[in-house]
């Protein structure tokens, strides 16, 4: 009888040098990067979250702050190639519970193989802050070739409609929240490197397409990472989670850059500040930040006490339109 192993995976997000980053590990020096992960011990761990906090600290020397459960990944075969979860004979089915953790400080990590990696390393097509990402050109070409090689015209049309909707092809609007659906379409099309690996194929790709598709990760960790980014981008709009990524005192420009780094889209400065004022989530501290490289800017704090006083929503994302 196949045994079941419950694994815990952590997507730990911070902002570093203006970029959204996640904490990665390399279980063995020769392997691809992965997320901090480990098995849940029913006899030794009181809760999933306590187990998660313990092994993240053990693997990375990093103590988690804000944590929420993300999703449970249990599809048959989702763990191929199998992450080492201590199942002994390697025949266990792994059920992975993903967690999302946010921290205001991407502190230097001393653990061997642990590092902060930009989301753009794994999803180059997701960053629209500087306009349409160059990665989308070879991806568009590859997706249209995939749409054209299927058996029937109807299926090809359905594939093309999905690709247009998800990757904003042929003038379709971009929806920043659909990170997971985009990655899953690339996997279905056999373009994601993990798809070729799991199907024991050796794809022949151009250098430009290989770079555009981003770095693969061990097991299905890039799918878990895509799920986390989708969730976080959505939560920006209905919960004030962005402040979990901010220091105690911050400028409004720094807050906007953080929102843009997570959402992957540029925001309209004046409209963003008007939305902040309406939400009544921040207040001025009466002092200036002088280390801005320009005109001193006022420092603000998050009004955390408002969470207990009334229902609090997130931030609207007024996009900067050309």
- Note the pLDDT of residue 6: 86
Fold classification of 237-309 (topology level): Arc Repressor Mutant, subunit A (1.10.10)
Top CATH class, 4-122+218-234: alpha beta
Q: Where are the beta strands (DSSP E) in 33-73?
A: 37-39, 66-73
- Note the pLDDT of residue 131: 96
- Rounded to two decimals, the pTM is 0.90
- Note the pLDDT of residue 82: 42
pLDDT, tens digit only, all 322 positions of the chain = 667 788 889 999 999 999 999 999 987 766 899 999 888 888 888 889 888 988 888 888 888 888 999 988 866 554 444 444 444 455 667 788 899 999 998 888 877 788 999 999 999 999 999 999 999 999 999 999 999 887 678 899 999 999 999 999 999 999 999 999 999 999 999 999 999 888 888 887 899 999 999 999 998 899 999 999 999 999 999 899 999 999 999 999 999 999 999 999 999 999 999 999 888 899 999 999 877 667 889 999 999 888 777 777 888 888 876 4
- Note the pLDDT of residue 110: 76
- Note the pLDDT of residue 84: 47
Where exactly are the structural domains of the chain? Answer: 4-122+218-234, 124-212, 237-309
- Note the pLDDT of residue 22: 97
Give DSSP secondary structure letters for 68-116.
EEEEEE--TTTTPSPP--S-SSS-PEEEEEEEEEE-S--PPP-STT-EE
- Listed residue (283, 303, 289, 142) closest to 208, CA to CA: 142
**Which own/partner pairs from 128-135 qualify as long-range (CB within 8 Å, at least 24 positions apart)?**
128/174, 128/176, 128/264, 128/265, 128/266, 129/260, 129/261, 129/264, 129/265, 129/266, 130/266, 132/168, 134/212, 135/211, 135/212, 135/213, 135/214
């Amino acid at each position: 009888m196949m045994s079941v192993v419950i694994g815990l995976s952590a997507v730990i997000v911070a902002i570093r040098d203006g970029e959204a980053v996640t904490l990665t590990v390399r279980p063995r020096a020769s392997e691809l990067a992965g997320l901090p992960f480990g098995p849940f011990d029913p006899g030794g761990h009181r809760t999933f979250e306590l187990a998660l906090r313990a092994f993240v600290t053990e693997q990375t020397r990093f103590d988690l702050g804000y944590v929420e459960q993300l999703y449970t990944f249990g599809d048959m075969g989702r763990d191929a190639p199998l992450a080492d979860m201590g199942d002994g004979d390697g025949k266990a089915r792994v059920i992975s519970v993903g967690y999302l953790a946010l921290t205001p400080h991407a502190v230097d990590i001393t653990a061997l193989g642990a590092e902060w990696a930009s989301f753009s390393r794994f999803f180059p097509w997701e960053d629209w802050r500087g306009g349409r990402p160059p990665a989308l050109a070879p991806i568009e070409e590859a997706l249209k070739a995939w749409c054209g090689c299927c058996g029937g015209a109807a299926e090809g049309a359905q594939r093309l409609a999905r690709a247009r909707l998800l990757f904003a092809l042929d003038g379709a609007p971009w929806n920043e929240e659909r990170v997971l659906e985009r990655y899953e379409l690339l996997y279905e099309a056999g373009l994601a490197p993990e798809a070729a690996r799991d199907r024991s194929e050796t794809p022949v790709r151009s250098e430009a397409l290989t770079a555009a598709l981003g770095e693969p990760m061990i097991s299905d960790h890039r799918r878990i990472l895509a799920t986390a980014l989708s969730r976080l981008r959505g939560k920006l709009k209905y919960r004030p989670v962005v402040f979990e990524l901010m220091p105690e005192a911050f400028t409004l420009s720094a807050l906007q850059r953080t929102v843009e780094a997570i959402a992957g889209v540029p925001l309209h400065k004046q409209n963003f500040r008007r939305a902040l004022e309406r939400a009544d989530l921040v207040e001025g501290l009466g002092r200036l930040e002088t280390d801005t490289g320009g005109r001193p800017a006022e420092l603000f704090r998050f009004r955390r006490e408002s969470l207990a006083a009334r229902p609090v929503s997130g931030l609207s994302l007024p996009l900067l339109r050309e």
